[in-house]
Amino acid sequence: MDEKQKRDGGELYEPASDEQLMKELIRAKDLCFKYNALSPLEDEKRNEIIKDLFGKTGKNFLIMPYFWCDYGYNIEIGDNFFSNHNLVMLDCAKIKIGHNAFIGPDCGFYTAGHPIKVSERNTGREYSKPITIGNNVWIGGGVKVMPGVTIGDNCVIGAGSVVTKDIPSNTIAMGNPCKVYRKLTEDEMK
């Protein structure tokens, strides 16, 4: 089993020891660099880069520079996606985001993690777990979403939150660690 297969299977893997993973990583970093260097007037070129980079894009998306990811092909976004400046998506595993997602500035989605045991961590191995974000989700500025988290439909995640556990649909959640504050009212879900 190669390192990419280990990664995709959720096992510990060594990305730096796999030539193919390193090529894919460098390709994504190069595309992100080109994306971030474009003029704000070059929407078409930016969209072409994102379509080339991501595994799937819906209709109507806008990602404000700066944007960085690890591989790109593990990212899927639905229709009407907006992200403000400084989005980081460490997509060693899948990051799936539904329709009508609004992401504030300085947000991070981190599928990658490292072992807690020092001797394992010092080998350079890591693991990855997917992140799933539902439809109609607003994620406030400075939010960090950790490996393996699912955020349900219609959620609002308060600015500055660190999301370490799943957040159920139809809720407002906030804090570090992020916790459900309250359910949305019927009127708020319209």
For residue 96, what is the DSSP state? E
Using one digit for the tens of pLDDT, what is the confidence trace for 134-143? Answer: 999 999 999 9
The rounded distance, in Å, linking the Cα atoms of 34 and 47 is 12
The predicted-structure confidence for 19-68, as pLDDT tens digits, reads as follows: 999 999 999 999 999 999 999 999 999 999 999 999 999 999 999 999 99
Among residues 162, 75, 144, which one has the least CA distance to residue 106? Answer: 144
Domains (range + CATH), the chain: 3-189 (2.160.10.10)
pLDDT of residue 190: 82
Contact by Cβ (8 Å): 132, 150? yes
Residue 120, SS3 per DSSP: helix
Residue 1 has pLDDT above 90, yes or no: no
- Ramachandran region, residue 88 (left: φ > 0; alpha: ψ -120 to 50; beta: rest): beta
pTM of the full predicted structure?
0.96
Strand partners, 40: none
Out of 27, 99, 114, 179, the active site residue is 114
Q: Is 114 a catalytic residue?
A: yes
Stretch 77-89: mean pLDDT: 98
